[in-house]
């Protein structure tokens, strides 16, 4: 991550130990007014970046509870950070739950995040279900927009996972999808 992100707009890093977190920080973030996503996002990113993903999940849960109380919109940015924190805590159930939500959003909004596809597919691959993994990854790859830079890291990982599947069992990926993977690789190579 880019550490300079955390050093602007009046935000500065603090080292919070467990006791400080419980007594000083959490009560402040527990206030109903703590709905400003730009502030909460910085805290969450800071916590993840500094190896405190459990605390990041606590902040996300608080933020989501405040949103529910205020009937606010639970947007994709929350889910992306929740997925990142769940991955860092190795909470596989939460990774899969959030991945499923992100996959559902992406089915209805092609410009959405595809990290859910990637992590769900990785789970399936680890459990030997290459067919389902390839189907999930291909559904994401088919939505690729050449030249879209914002998702290149995600799509690079998706294409890499598809290549792994193809090397393990070429019959799982149809020739037209292999060509799509090749086009995606060229596009991703141009973004480096």
Q: Domain coordinates of the chain in residue numbers?
A: 1-90, 113-192
Per-residue pLDDT of 9-44, as tens digits, reads 444 455 556 677 677 766 776 666 566 777 788 888
Of 3-7, 116-120, 151-155, 173-177, which range is least confident? 3-7
Q: Is the pTM of this model over 0.85?
A: no
Q: Cα separations (Å) of 147 from 109, 139, 153, 161, 183? A: 18, 18, 13, 20, 11
C-beta separation of 113 from 84 below 8 A: no
- The secondary structure of residue 3, as a DSSP letter, is G
């Amino acid at each position: 991550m880019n550490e300079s992100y955390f050093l602007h707009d009046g935000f500065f890093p603090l080292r919070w130990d467990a006791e400080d977190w419980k007594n000083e920080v959490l009560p402040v973030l527990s206030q109903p007014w703590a709905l400003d996503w730009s502030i909460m996002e910085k805290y969450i990113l800071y916590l993840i970046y500094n190896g405190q993903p459990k605390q990041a999940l606590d902040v996300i849960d608080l933020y989501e509870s405040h949103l529910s109380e205020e009937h606010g919109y639970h947007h994709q940015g929350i889910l992306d950070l929740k997925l990142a924190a769940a991955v860092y805590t190795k909470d596989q159930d939460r990774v899969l739950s959030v991945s499923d939500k992100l996959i559902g959003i992406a089915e209805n909004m092609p410009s959405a995040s595809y990290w859910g596809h990637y992590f769900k597919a990785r789970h399936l691959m680890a459990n030997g279900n290459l067919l389902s993994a390839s189907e999930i990854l291909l559904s994401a790859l088919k939505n690729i927009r050449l030249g879209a830079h914002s998702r290149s890291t995600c799509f690079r990982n998706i294409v890499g996972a598809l290549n792994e599947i193809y090397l393990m069992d070429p019959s799982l990926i149809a020739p037209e999808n292999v060509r799509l993977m090749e086009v995606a690789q060229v596009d991703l190579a141009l973004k480096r």
